[in-house]
């Protein structure tokens, strides 16, 4: 049914928001839409290849939480590794039993010395790996405590002048269900590293599952009761530093903001750079003069973490 002209005019005025002050229903003001904030991205600066005392870097170590080795290989993670070309590659959260490792990585000629650790009880859970161009003097698995060593979280390689430890630290879990266990782990792992440090300096790398300070994550206020940013976990990391170790990235870039190594897959977090710095190279303080650079390769995809790289003189 066709409406009359008057009805059409009234309908048009209502849709447009009639500004007549005598009209019975005042017009609704249109809500202003908030412009989304442009993400602030971290730009990994050029690599520094010289230590403070003028020596040239001669050891390059890369660490990467791959969030499932088989999927990471399919996403061409090894192409980037060949491009980066570290002397030692450390991987965490491999989620792969040794019998199921992809041939693409087990047959890599660039790294003739390969070491794997996985969970005893849960296949496809946790797991770490270390691939090296040169043969270590000795390689050990775990930290010597049965309660911690069933989940395949630690590999230690002894080289001539230092120990290299790669770790996937236990996550405190949703609802902090493993926080008490994590606190025990932090104490025992710190003791393990300190005992190594008595023998030789230590390079520790991996996913430490903690953002140490507020500068190390995008939303500190909203995460104080969440795994990875509880007071207990942060204190555990502080105690590690107090025991004679150094966060290499913060040593070189103490004020650098927006430098993260992990982003959830949800809510487009990576493109928005809503992240956490959970991956570290932690050094014995005696290695500080040998430190050249500590890199966050945040442009590299293939996991919910990005790789990190250390340049050092050994």
Measured CA to CA, the distance from residue 169 to residue 163 in angstroms comes to 18
For residues 140-169, give the mean pLDDT: 97
209 known member of a binding site: yes
For residues 66-75, give the mean pLDDT: 98
Given a cut of 80, whether residue 8 has pLDDT beyond it is no
CB neighbours of residue 137 within 10 Å = 9
pLDDT at 293: 98
Given a cut of 50, whether residue 10 has pLDDT beyond it is no
The pLDDT mean for the chain works out to 91
Instruction: Write down the catalytic residue from 67, 186, 197, 207.
Output: 207
Alpha-carbon distances of 138 from 62, 115, 141, 145, rounded to whole Å = 20, 11, 10, 19
pLDDT at 31: 60
Q: What percent of the chain has pLDDT over 70?
A: 89
Measured CA to CA, the distance from residue 248 to residue 261 in angstroms comes to 14
pTM, two decimal places: 0.89
Model confidence pLDDT, tens digit, residues 33-64: 667 779 999 999 999 999 999 999 999 999 99
Q: What percent of the chain has pLDDT over 90?
A: 86
For the question of residue 311 being annotated catalytic, the response is no
Instruction: Write down the catalytic residue from 148, 247, 293, 305.
Output: 305
- What are the boundaries of each domain within the chain? 59-312
Confidence of residue 120 (pLDDT cuts 50, 70, 90): confident
58 known member of a binding site: no
Model confidence pLDDT, tens digit, residues 217-274: 999 999 999 999 999 999 999 999 999 999 999 999 999 999 999 999 999 999 999 9
67 known member of a binding site: no
pLDDT at 23: 37
Given a cut of 60, whether residue 292 has pLDDT beyond it is yes
pLDDT at 30: 56
305 known member of a binding site: yes
Element (H, E) at 10: helix 5-16
Measured CA to CA, the distance from residue 199 to residue 151 in angstroms comes to 26
With vertex at residue 103, the alpha carbon angle to CA 308 and CA 143, rounded to the nearest 5 degrees, is 50
For the question of residue 168 being annotated catalytic, the response is yes
Instruction: Write down the catalytic residue from 42, 115, 168, 260.
Output: 168
With vertex at residue 175, the alpha carbon angle to CA 186 and CA 65, rounded to the nearest 5 degrees, is 55
Given a cut of 50, whether residue 1 has pLDDT beyond it is no
Element (H, E) at 157: strand 154-158
Bigger pLDDT: 135 or 31?
135
The CATH number assigned to the domain with range 59-312 reads 3.60.10.10
pLDDT at 19: 37
For the question of residue 258 being annotated catalytic, the response is no
Confidence of residue 12 (pLDDT cuts 50, 70, 90): very low
Given a cut of 80, whether residue 20 has pLDDT beyond it is no
């Amino acid at each position: 049914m066709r409406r009359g002209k008057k009805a059409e005019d009234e309908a048009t005025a209502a849709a447009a928001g009639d500004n007549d002050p005598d009209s019975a229903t005042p017009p609704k003001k249109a809500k202003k839409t908030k412009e989304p904030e442009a993400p602030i991205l971290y730009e990994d600066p050029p690599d520094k290849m010289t230590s403070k005392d003028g020596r040239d870097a001669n050891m390059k170590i890369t660490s990467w939480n791959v969030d499932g080795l088989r999927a990471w290989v399919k996403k061409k993670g090894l192409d980037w590794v060949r491009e980066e070309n570290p002397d030692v590659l450390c991987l965490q959260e491999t989620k792969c039993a040794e019998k199921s490792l992809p041939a693409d990585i087990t047959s890599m000629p660039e790294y003739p010395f390969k070491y794997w650790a996985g969970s005893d009880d849960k296949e496809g859970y946790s797991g770490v790996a270390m691939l090296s161009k040169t043969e270590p003097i000795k390689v050990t698995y775990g930290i010597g405590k049965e309660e911690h060593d069933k989940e395949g979280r630690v590999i230690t390689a002894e080289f001539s002048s230092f120990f290299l430890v790669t770790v996937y630290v236990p996550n405190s879990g949703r609802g902090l269900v493993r926080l008490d266990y994590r606190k025990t782990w932090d104490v025992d792992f710190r003791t393990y590293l300190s005992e190594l440090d008595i023998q030789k300096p230590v390079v520790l790398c991996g996913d430490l599952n903690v953002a140490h300070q507020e500068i190390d994550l995008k939303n500190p206020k909203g995460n104080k009761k969440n795994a990875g940013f509880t007071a207990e976990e942060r204190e555990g990391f502080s105690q590690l530093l107090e025991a004679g170790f150094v966060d290499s990235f913060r040593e070189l870039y103490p004020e650098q903001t927006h430098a993260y190594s992990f982003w959830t897959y949800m809510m487009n977090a990576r493109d928005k750079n809503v992240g956490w710095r959970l991956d570290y190279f932690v050094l014995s303080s005696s290695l500080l003069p040998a430190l050249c650079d500590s890199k966050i390769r945040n442009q590299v995809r293939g996991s919910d973490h990005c790789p990190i790289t250390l340049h050092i003189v050994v």
